[in-house]
Chains A and B, each alone.
Chain A
Amino acid sequence: MSQIAFYILSFLSVVSALLVIFSKKPVHSVLYLVFCFFTIAGHYVLLNAQFLAAVHIIVYAGAIMVLFLFVVMLLNLNADIEPHKDNVLKVSAVVAGGCLMLIMTSVMKTADTMPIIDSTNQIGVVKNLGLALYQTYMLPFELLSVLLLSAMVGSVLIAKKEDIENLPQ
């Protein structure tokens, strides 16, 4: 049962990831990436990591991809901005990525130990993860809030730079 679900989710993830990089219009790429993130959330559910699945859908599909979609629509990039395609570049990129994929998969296939994931444990539920997050990883968690605050202030400052230059000196 779960093996079949894993195969279906993996197939959908890989196909939607390929469609992200091969589709012409940026809006289609964004939508395929949202679908890919939903399948990865399905993988998290299969691993019995419910908190990660919920956070993944909320943060990635709900916040980050909406930001991407806003920027694509704001810049009006739906037209194809790559008019003269460099086929040599494309083929060499596919060959290089394929070689990397070949090396990684062959190395990972020859790993001699093959331990079984037993997802009947309750490590991914909110209670255990919250205990780890607020006891062991307390300081990084608080530093993360400072990082997010500085990223927010920095992005607002960068995007408003034109207005700052137009101010009277």
Chain B
Amino acid sequence: MNTLANNIPINYYLILSGILFCIGVMGVLMRRNAIIILMCIELMLNAVNLLLAAFSVMHNDAGGQVMVFFIMAVAAAEVAVGLSILVLIYRNVKSVDINILNRLKW
């Protein structure tokens, strides 16, 4: 029935998720556009989701995939609120550069 029977070791998924997560961290540290920083946070969440799904398949437990579903819903809520905050910031200061948005620093 299943033509996609794969026997990929879990280490490959661990390394792939680690690389994707580190690319997300790199983007958060490097870019100054707040929208791209939000996108890099999405990338990190997806790396974790992929690893959760892989472990769920490995342990033959549906809990991991249900947790992926919950993480997707929380990410959707986070993106909606974050982007509306960004729109509000853009209306006030006409920029989404995070070097300008440092008034809460001191």
Contacts and interface: CB of A to CB of B under 8 A. Distances in A.
A84 to B, nearest CB: 10
Contacts, number: 254
Interface string A60-72: 1001100110011
Contact of A71 (B26, B43, B87): B87
B5 A2 contact: yes
Nearest to B7: A116
Contact of B36 (A21, A48, A89, A161): A21
B101 interface: no
A25 to B, nearest CB: 10
B27 A148 contact: no
Which of A44, A52, A98 lies at the interface centre, i.e. has the most chain B CB atoms within 10 A of its CB?
A52
Interface string A79-99: 001100000011011101110
User: Could you tell me the dominant secondary structure of chain A's interface residues?
Assistant: helix
A101 to B, nearest CB: 4
Interface residues of B, number: 74
Q: Which range holds the interface residue count of chain A?
A: 35 or more
Interface in B22-64: 22-27, 29-33, 35-36, 38-40, 42-43, 46, 49-50, 53-54, 56-58, 60-63
A115 interface: yes
Interface of A: 2-3, 5-6, 10, 13-14, 17-18, 20-21, 26, 29-30, 33, 36-37, 40, 43-49, 51-52, 55-56, 59-60, 63-64, 67-68, 71-72, 74-75, 77, 81-82, 89-90, 92-94, 96-98, 100-101, 104-105, 108-109, 111, 114-121, 123-124, 128-129, 131-133, 136-137, 140, 144, 147-148, 150-152, 154-156, 158-159, 161-162
